[in-house]
């Protein structure tokens, strides 16, 4: 993609009707310079549409107020979906500059809408008169979501409070953009270069080849390790070089915490202060109470109760594993205390000893293409979906696209997979959309995207995944199915537009099928011979799935606790993010040998925008649901049980946000779960408290 921010000569693609298959953005014709004028026109158009709704003289009705708002902003949605996909998955200096410029403008635009008093009066009238207006259940739900979002955005505040809230939200948008760009800059600036055989000691062949390709792609000789998690974690797992493990680990955990222009600690302090002030303006004690008031948990106390219930057995398991690894170090003649950069290395050795399991032995059986097939097969067995390659425009040559059809052959939507790490992509894995499903303006089929950061094999060789990589693939595809299977009328409640602590249920639930022998026997095949994974190895893989689960749980819960602690401050002053992190971890008894999965200076979930701010606990909240939900299949004796799958589709995957999350789950399961299923899933049910 060209790097210029100036509009190229010729017609702007955003000002045309797209004749591409399924209306996919014509990425081959879109340049960074198109976005400024496209956004300017789309924002003005949306502002005029909303102003017309607010100024209408006819009595407020669902059609002339809520439905009219749902139909507004289509040009803005089209521009924004393309821009934010590129900004995350294939960015460049021109897009980064435009992102910095646009973020506060877009925040200002939505502030103006959400604080429009005349518009809120119309929404409030429809809300109060819903029964008299004859609204059906879905229309009532959409109206309630509009009323809640406007109220939480400050629509009912007085003039001065509205003005201050608008300034806060605009500033938070600027800070979130700066935060994410700083992390990306630190990731792009770091490369661990290796040249000698001694530096490669312990690394399997597949890793060496991937590292050689990474170096070549960066114009370097030898081998290179980047700060992509899919590159860092295998190196920490296999490298015999303790000094190099430490160097890479420190580079990884210090993203956003290196001083200078990309340091994020001051940004964190300002964001936490502004979020607390925002909550106070809206009548909440702190930001955590504000955020969770519109979540399934409802209160920070409820979220903390779950985290506390799991923390004790998880910490106990992690400490037991630590002691076993320390004994292994001494047995090998090591005269040092285990450190965080040692954990994955000695955990792999301990797993090999305790479970007769070797990660390097299973990776040849986890070919990326076969794992994609496994995810598709599971969707076919559960929901009758089929996927065939589609020839549509994409934003990078590595991106693949498939057309999804239902059991009757009807088109469902398009699915895009962008699987490989590259310097132009932000770290992590996520699902997004280029268009959401809806029926309000016709039978609109969704365009759903999965973005991952797997290390690409060189020279056209098959890309091999770790089991955690394969789990990530299934997780994100679960999100994708939530978007693809959506079957609602109104965009506001389409697909993944649900509470944050419910949105992870479809994704985490989908991971369960990856671990099942019925799926692994069919798709875990050697990338060279095509032979299935030996049954003995498969059984060892399944038996070892909870190995090191104490570590994984501790590093996760630490993040969730620190997130809640930051956002439970009623009036934060000058926060030292590092000191705050240390104090919070000390309070819960964080083992010295384990770090947070995401330290605050690169904790994008909560500081690159507000997606999971005060809500990182959501993954565990949803895991309570997913463990219980999969048990519904196990209780039938068939993990693809048709009746259970139909309820799952109808009540969860297809329903979007049409119901309160608790009601949706009870419609599927008949009741709400407790944490017992989660403890069993993680293997903690018999762990004594420490």
Q: Show which residues are catalytic.
A: 476
CA dihedral sign of residues 28, 29, 32, 38? negative
Contact 60, 125 (CB under 8 A): yes
- Residues 288, 567 contacting (CB under 8 angstroms): yes
Q: What angle do CA 488, 490, 491 make, to 5 degrees?
A: 105
Rounded CA separation 199/317 (Å): 33
Residues 6+ apart with CB under 8 A from 159: none
340 vs 542: CA distance, rounded Å: 26
Angle between helices 661-669 and 618-634 (to 10 degrees): 20
User: Are the CB atoms for 253 and 232 separated by under 8 Å?
Assistant: no
Q: Would you give the DSSP letter of residue 532?
A: B
CA–CA separation, 106 and 81 (whole Å): 13
CA pair distance 626, 668, nearest whole angstrom: 12
Q: What CA–CA distances, in Å, run from 316 to 312, 320, 549, 676? A: 6, 6, 11, 17
Closest CA to 248 of 219, 216, 226, 277: 226
Going by their DSSP bridges, the two strands 430-435 and 447-454 should be labelled as antiparallel
Cα–chain center distance at 111: 25
Residue 436: partners with Cβ closer than 8 Å, 6 or more residues away: 444, 446, 483, 486, 491, 494, 495, 497
Helix (H) or strand (E) holding 668: helix 661-669
CA 83 distance to own-chain centroid:
18
Is the sign of the CA dihedral 149, 428, 396, 609 positive or negative?
positive
3-state SS, residue 388:
strand
Interatomic CA distance for residues 593 and 343, integer angstroms:
7
Question: What sign for the dihedral angle of Cα 514, 517, 523, 526?
Answer: positive
Decide if 522 contacts 374 (C-beta within 8 A): yes
Sequence-distant (6+) residues with CB within 8 A of 375 are 473, 474, 477, 510
What is the radius of gyration, based on Cα positions, of the chain?
25
Q: How many residues does this entry show for the chain?
A: 690
Burial class, 330, CB count within 10 angstroms (exposed 0-12 / middle 13-18 / buried 19+): exposed
Cβ–Cβ under 8 Å, residues 173 and 106:
yes
Listed residue (333, 312, 327, 329) closest to 591, CA to CA: 312
CA distances from 585 to 48, 110, 135, 624, 648 (A): 50, 37, 50, 24, 38
Cα of first residue to Cα of last residue in the chain, in angstroms, is: 55
SS3 689: coil
Answer yes or no: are the C-beta atoms of 540 and 365 closer than 8 Å: no
Q: Give the DSSP H/E element, type plus range, for residue 433.
A: strand 430-435
- Does an H or E element contain 400, and which? strand 400-405
DSSP state of 64: I
């Amino acid at each position: 993609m060209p790097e210029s921010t100036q509009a190229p000569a010729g017609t702007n693609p955003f000002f045309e009707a797209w004749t591409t298959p399924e209306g996919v953005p014509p990425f081959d014709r879109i340049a960074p310079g198109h976005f400024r004028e496209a956004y300017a026109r789309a924002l003005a158009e949306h502002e005029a549409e909303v102003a017309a709704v607010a100024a209408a003289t006819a009595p407020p009705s669902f059609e002339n107020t809520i439905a009219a708002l749902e139909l507004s902003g289509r040009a803005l949605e089209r521009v924004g979906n393309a821009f934010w996909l590129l900004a995350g998955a294939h960015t460049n200096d021109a897009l980064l500059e435009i992102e910095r410029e646009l973020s506060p403008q877009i925040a200002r635009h939505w502030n103006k809408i959400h604080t429009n008093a005349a518009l809120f009066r119309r929404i409030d009238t429809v809300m109060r008169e819903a029964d008299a207006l004859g609204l059906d259940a879905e229309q009532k739900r959409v109206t309630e979501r509009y009323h809640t979002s406007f109220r939480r955005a400050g629509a009912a505040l007085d003039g001065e409070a509205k003005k201050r809230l608008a300034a806060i939200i605009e500033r938070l948008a600027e800070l979130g953009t700066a935060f994410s760009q700083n992390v990306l800059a630190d990731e792009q600036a770091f490369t661990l270069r290796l040249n000698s055989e001694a530096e490669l000691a312990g690394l399997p062949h597949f890793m060496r080849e991937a590292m050689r390709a990474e170096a070549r792609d960066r114009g370097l000789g030898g081998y290179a390790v980047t700060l992509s998690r899919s590159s860092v974690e295998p190196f920490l797992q296999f490298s015999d070089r303790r000094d190099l493990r430490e160097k890479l680990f420190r580079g990884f955990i210090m993203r956003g915490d290196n001083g200078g222009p990309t340091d994020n600690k001051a940004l964190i302090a300002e964001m936490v202060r502004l979020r607390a002030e925002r909550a106070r303006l809206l009548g909440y004690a702190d930001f955590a109470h504000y955020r969770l008031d519109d979540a399934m948990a409802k209160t920070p106390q409820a979220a903390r109760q779950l985290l506390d219930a799991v923390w004790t057995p998880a910490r106990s398991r992690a400490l037991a594993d630590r002691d076993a690894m320390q004994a292994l170090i001494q047995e090998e003649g090591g005269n040092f205390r285990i450190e965080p950069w040692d954990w994955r290395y000695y955990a792999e050795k301990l797993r090999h000893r305790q479970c007769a399991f070797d990660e390097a032995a299973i990776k040849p059986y986890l070919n990326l293409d076969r794992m994609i097939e496994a995810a598709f097969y599971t969707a076919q067995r559960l929901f009758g979906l089929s996927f065939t390659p589609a020839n549509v425009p994409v934003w990078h040559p590595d991106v693949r696209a498939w057309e999804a059809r239902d059991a009757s052959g009807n088109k469902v939507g398009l699915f895009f997979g962008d699987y490989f790490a590259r310097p132009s992509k932000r770290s992590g894995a996520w699902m997004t959309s280029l268009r959401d499903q809806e029926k309000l303006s016709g039978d609109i089929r969704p365009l759903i995207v999965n973005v991952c950061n797997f290390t690409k094999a060189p020279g056209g060789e098959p890309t091999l995944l770790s089991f955690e990589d394969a789990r990530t693939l299934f997780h994100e595809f679960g999100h994708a199915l939530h978007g693809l299977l959506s079957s609602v009328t109104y965009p506001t409640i389409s697909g993944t537009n649900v509470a944050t602590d419910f949105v992870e249920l479809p994704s985490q639930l989908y991971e369960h099928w990856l671990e099942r022998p019925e799926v692994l026997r069919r798709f875990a095949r050697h990338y060279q011979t095509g032979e299935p994974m030996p049954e003995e190895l498969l059984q060892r893989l399944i038996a070892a799935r909870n190995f090191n689960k104490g570590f994984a749980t501790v590093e996760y819960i630490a993040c969730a606790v620190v997130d809640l602690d930051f956002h439970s401050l009623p009036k934060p002053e000058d926060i030292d993010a590092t000191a705050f992190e240390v104090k919070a971890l000390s309070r819960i008894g964080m083992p010295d040998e384990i770090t947070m999965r995401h330290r605050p200076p690169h904790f994008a979930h909560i500081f690159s925008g507000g997606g999971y701010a005060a809500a990182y606990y959501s993954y565990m909240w949803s895991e309570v649901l997913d463990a219980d939900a999969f048990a519904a299949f196990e209780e039938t004796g068939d993990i693809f049980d048709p009746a259970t799958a139909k309820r799952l589709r109808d009540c969860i995957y297809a329903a979007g946000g049409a119901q309160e999350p608790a009601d949706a789950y009870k419609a599927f399961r008949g009741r709400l779960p407790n944490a017992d299923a989660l403890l069993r899933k993680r293997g903690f049910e018999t762990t004594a408290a420490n």
